[in-house]
Amino acid sequence: MSFFRKFYQNIIHDRNPDDDTIKVKGKVTPVFHGTVAPYPNFSASSDVSVLKTALESKGVEEDVIISVLVKRNNEQRQKIKAVYEAETHQPLERALKRALRSDLEDICVALLKPPAHFDAYLIRDATKRLGTDEDVLVEVLATRSNEEIRQLKTVYKEVYGDDLEDVIKDETRGDFTTALLAMLKANKDENTEVDMALAQKDAETLLEAGENTKGQISTIIDILTTRSGPQLSKTFQRYACASDITLPKALNMELRGDIEDCLLDIVKCAWSTPAFFAEKLHRAMERHGTCEDTLIRVLVSRSEVDLKKILEEYRAMYDRTLQEDILKDTKHHFEDILLRLCGPH
C-alpha cells in the first residue's frame, strides 16, 4: 500500500497512528516504542573486558562485539567507551575501525555515537559529499524534537566549527533553504492538544495557497514547520473535506525538485513518523542494490525511539516484515546486527 493511500484512508476516518501516550489514573505517560532498552545488571567494566578479548583474539569475534553493542542502550555504550579508553588509552571507535570492515564497521561506529553527535555526523556527511544529500537533511530535521535540533546545532558547532545555518545556506538554494532554516529554528509546537479553529483556518490558508503555491510558499512552509503533528493531521483532514485535490497533489502540481520533496516529507512525518521511516526502509531495499547507509541511519537513530512502531507500519504497508526483507537483501554479520536491532521476533 502506498504511503499516501494509507494516509488518506486514515484522514477520512480521523485516525492518527502516532498516539504515543497512555493514561494511568488520569496521568498521561509516554509509551516506549524502542527495540533497545537499558541492559539489566549492566557493568561497563565487564563489557570492556569482553570487548577487549573479542577485539584482540587471533580472529576477531564479530558475534561477541555485536551482542554487546545491540543489547546496551546508548547511555550504557557511552560508559563502555569511557571505561575502554581509560583502560587502553585509545578510543573504542578506533579499535572497532581497525578490527571490522565495511558496513559492519560503519554501523558499530554509529552505535557508539551519542544521538546528537550521530545527527551532526549525518548532516556533515550529507553536505560534504559530492552532491548534497537533500533527503537526509530533511529526514533529520523533520523527525527530531525541538530540543534534539538545538542539541544538534550545538554539537555541530563544537565538532565541525561551523554554524549549521551557514552550512545550509551555502549548500542549498531557494525555497528549499527557507524550509530547512525554518526547521532549524526548532520552533515547532509540541503540544498534543488540537486547536480545531486553527486547523480550519490553516486548512483554508493552505487551500488558498495551493492555488498559487509559488506566490505563497512561505505561508505553506510556516504552517508545516511550526504546527504539531496532531494539529497538522487535523488540518489535513479539514483540507481533504474542503478540496477535490489533496494537499500532496496540490504540492506536486505546483512545485518541483527539492522543495516539493521536502514539503511532502514534512506532511508524511506530521501524520506518521513511523510510516515515513517504514517507507524509507522499503525504498532502501526495493530496487536492485541495497542502500546500506539508509538501513544504518534509520535503525540506529530510531532503535530507542519508535522502531517497534516502524516495524508495525512496515508490515501493514507492505504485507511482510522488515526482517524478511533484511534477510533477503543483506548478508553475514551486517544482516545479523540489523536483525538484532529490530528486537526479538
Last-in-domain residue among 111, 137, 159: 111
Residue 228 forms part of a structural domain: yes
* H or E segment to which residue 21 belongs: strand 21-24
CA distance 67 to 80: 14
Q: What is the mean pLDDT of residues 279-304?
A: 94
Longest Cα–Cα distance of the chain, Å, equals 68
pLDDT tens by residue, 158-213: 999 999 999 999 999 999 999 999 999 999 999 989 999 999 999 999 998 876 55
CB atoms within 10 A of CB 115: 17
pLDDT tens by residue, 56-91: 887 899 999 999 999 999 999 999 999 999 999 999
Could you give the residue ranges of the DSSP H alpha helices within 89-228? 92-99, 102-111, 115-128, 134-143, 146-160, 164-171, 174-184, 196-210, 217-226
- CATH number reported for the structural domain that contains residue 252 in this entry: 1.10.220.10
How many secondary structure helices (H) and strands (E) does the chain include? 21, 2
Q: Which domain holds residue 303?
A: 273-341
Q: Is the pLDDT of residue 227 over 60?
A: yes
- What single DSSP character describes residue 38? P
Q: Tell me if the pTM is above 0.85.
A: yes
Residues in the chain, how many? Answer: 345
Number of domains in the chain: 4
Last-in-domain residue among 111, 126, 146: 111
Residues 248 and 279 in one domain: no
Residues 305 and 295 in one domain: yes
